[in-house]
Every structure is written in C-alpha cells, then in structure tokens.
Structure 1
Amino acid sequence: MSGKFISIEGIEGAGKSTQLQFIADYLRSHGKQVVVTREPGGTLLGEEIRQVLLKPTDQAMGEDTELLLMFAARSEHIKQVIEPALKRGDWVLSDRFVDATFAYQGGGRGIDEQRISELASWTLQGCHTDVTFLFDLPVAVGQTRVEQRQQQKDRFEQEKQAFFERVRICYLARAKAEPQRIKLIDASQSIEAIQQQLSQHLVQLVDNAAL
C-alpha cells in the first residue's frame, strides 16, 4: 500500500507550523505512520542549502541561483526522504513543496513559469502531492504576525509587502487552477476554526485512502 503526500503552503505569518503539528497528530491518531519534513531542507544537504537560502546577507543572491538551489535541495529531498517513505506506505507531511517555488520564485521574483515547470518536470519525475493545504490570509496580517514574533527575520521575511502580495496572488491562482488538489484554508480565522476546517478535509482523505 502506498502512502499519501501532503504539503502545506502559505505566506509568512499564515500559521503553518501550528497546523502542521495538528495535521500530524490527527493522522497518527488514525493509525498512520507520518514523516514530517520541510523545504528547503529535509536532508543533511538540504538543511545546509536552507541555511544559504535563508541567511540574511548584504550580498544579493541571483534569482536563477536561488531557483536552482531550491530544486537542488528538492531533488535530494525526494530521493532520500519522500519517495522511500511513500514506498513504505508512510504518509509524508511537508512544510512547503513545489507550489512554493512557483509562488516565491515565480510570483515573487518574476521568474517565468515555464522555466520553473521545466525544472519541476526534470526534478520531480512524477512526484506530486495528493493534497496541498494553502493557508491564506491578507499580507498585512501575516506581516504583523511576523513582527510580533520578535525574532530576526530571515532573507525572505525581509522582503517588502509588494513581494508577498505577488506571492499570494500566485498561490491563489494555483488554488483556483487545481481545486481538487489545493484546499484553500482561511488562515485569518481562529486556530480552532482552522482546525475544524482541516478536520473536514482530513477525514475525507483518510476515508478515501482506506477504500
């Protein structure tokens, strides 16, 4: 029996980390073996690439360099973590996957979608999520939440509001284009309301997997 692959997406401040744990706990309570991972990261090399990508620096990183590093980390992630877990029948839960690249490097940076699609086709080789939860909220709300953390911002968190507006637009466009896979979650709700909405999707996913 093959496992299921779930990813969660959203702009900064959308509350992904809180809901990631809720989803993992829900699936485990229903007898699923769950591998929780993240992008960029998930492997030793991937985590090293993550540090390069997120570390604030005075020297700007080229857009193509950023894009290629994302896919380099993802290639390792798929081969070392995701595919082996799915073959074992485990469920994989990843904090971001390829939709993030289309949103951040495509929407945010302005890299042509076709170029990203070509890299995705070469790198993913058929690996795709069964369902993606997109936690959506107004950019201004997300930025306020990030400020309230009182932590040093990483390289992406330091971007201007216009950047995140473009990222959000791209995310919403992808959700509209693939409504069966991408489930839109109103992340401006209370934590309890969000989890109730998630539960409705998860019970259906678990039930369908049992058929």
Structure 2
Amino acid sequence: MTHLRRGGFLAFEGGDGAGKTTQLDLLESWFQELAVPYERTREPGGTVIGERIRSLVLEHDQGEVDPRTEALLFAASRAAHVVQRIEPALQAGRFVLCDRYVDSSVAYQGVGRELGAQAVAEINAFATGGLQPDLTVVLDIDPSAARARREGRDGLSDRIESAEDAFHDRLRHAFLDRAAAAPQRYLVLDAAASAQALHAAIRERVQEMLGQELSNP
C-alpha cells in the first residue's frame, strides 16, 4: 500500500503507568498553542468498532481471551483505525498523536504473551498496510515503579495491567529492542524523569518535524 500524506504520525509507547497520557496532554496543549492541525487518538479504540474491541480485550468480565485471539482482535481494531482515522487525518495534513500502535502488539502479545514478535509484527503489517509512525516515543519504566504508579491511581487495573511482573518485564525489553533496531524512528526516554523534562525532550524532537512540515506547504 502506498501512503500519500503530509502531516506527521506520532505514536507513544511504554508499559502501563509510564506516563503516556500526561505526555500526550502536554504535547496536545503545545500543538494548540502553535495552531498545529492535529488529531489525538488511542489504541485499542479510536473508532466505533475499535472501542467495542477494546472492551472485549481489556475488561475483566468478558470471559476468557486467549493470547492468539487477543492479538488478532488488536490487529482488527488497528486495521479499522488506520483506514477510518489515521490515514484520513494524515492525508488532510494533520498530525496524528496516537496512544499506542503496532509496537504495543509486538511487545504485549508477541513477547509478553510469547506468541512470537515476528508473527505478531507480520499480522500487524497486513492490518496497517505497512503504515509506520514518523516518530515513536518510548517511555521506559521499571515494572515495579510502573506497578506502584498504577496502584496509586483510582479504579481497578484492566485485564492486561493486572498481569504478573514477569510479563511486564518482558514487554519492557521488547519496546527497547524495537527501538534499538530502528533508532532513527524512536525516541527512548527514562519515564522516571519529571513530566516537564520529558515534555521538553519530546518537544525538541517534534520541533524538527514541525519545521520540515511548515517549510513544505
């Protein structure tokens, strides 16, 4: 599939409790100040069918969901997301700020659930038509620190957040391995840093993308 687009595609990745929502909030506020056209979305979700799939795979009362079914449901949600939300936004010249993308499936299902990183990557390459983010921000966090953050939040952890520490340790290393394999497309940051320090580092990298976009109307 050929992707003709302007705009820019930014994905945020990391373990549960890494602080993705905070960084997306800060980046969204900055885009608003600059009047940069953007669209914020999330995975799983972002579409009507995606939000329904989200409840199926994350909520505790949906019955047993085996790893292979989980991986395929996430890929199906992502396929709809790309066609219905991400591609139209990019083609319209908007930036897409996405909470999770393919790296999450490779980390959580491929490595965390031990289905195989390559197998899950191939399923998602088909689901997305090969669409990759221009930049993926990985907020790296120690699983024990992430668990402490999650326990301090209101509400119950979802089905995946509740997995054992060994699972979260595997997915942490999966994110880092993916970033190491293509460093030009990733920005890995220590999630233990302050929210403002992380935002400054992200802003510096995104500013380069904004400069390129604004110089090519």
Whether TM exceeds 0.5 here: the answer is: yes
CA shift at 1:196, angstroms?
A: 1.6
Where in structure 2 are the equivalents of 1:164-175 lying within 5 Å?
Answer: 164-175=168-179
Q: Which runs of 5+ in 1 are unaligned?
A: none
Where in structure 2 are the equivalents of 1:1-211 lying within 5 Å?
Answer: 2-57=6-61, 59-211=63-215
CA shift at 1:58, angstroms?
A: 8.1
Asked if structure 2 preserves the Cα contact closer than 8 Å seen for 1:82 and 1:92, the reply is: yes
Asked if structure 1 preserves the Cα contact closer than 8 Å seen for 2:110 and 2:119, the reply is: no
Asked if structure 1 preserves the Cα contact closer than 8 Å seen for 2:23 and 2:199, the reply is: yes
1:151-184 CA-partner distances (Å, limit 9, x unpaired):
1111011101100000001000011111111100
* TM-score (normalised: structure 2): 0.93
* Amino acid in structure 1 at the alignment position of 2:59: K
Structure 1 outlier segments of 4+, above 4 Å: none
Asked if structure 2 preserves the Cα contact closer than 8 Å seen for 1:57 and 1:155, the reply is: no
Percent sequence identity over aligned pairs: 36
Tell me how far apart the structure 1 counterparts of residues 44 and 78 of structure 2 sit (CA, whole Å). Answer: 7
189-198 vs 138-147, greater mean Cα deviation: 189-198
* Amino acid in structure 1 at the alignment position of 2:95: W
Q: CA RMSD in A?
A: 1.3
Equivalences, count: 211
Tell me how far apart the structure 1 counterparts of residues 7 and 184 of structure 2 sit (CA, whole Å). Answer: 18
Tell me how far apart the structure 2 counterparts of residues 146 and 160 of structure 1 sit (CA, whole Å). Answer: 13
1:99-126 CA-partner distances (Å, limit 9, x unpaired):
1000100110001222212212211113
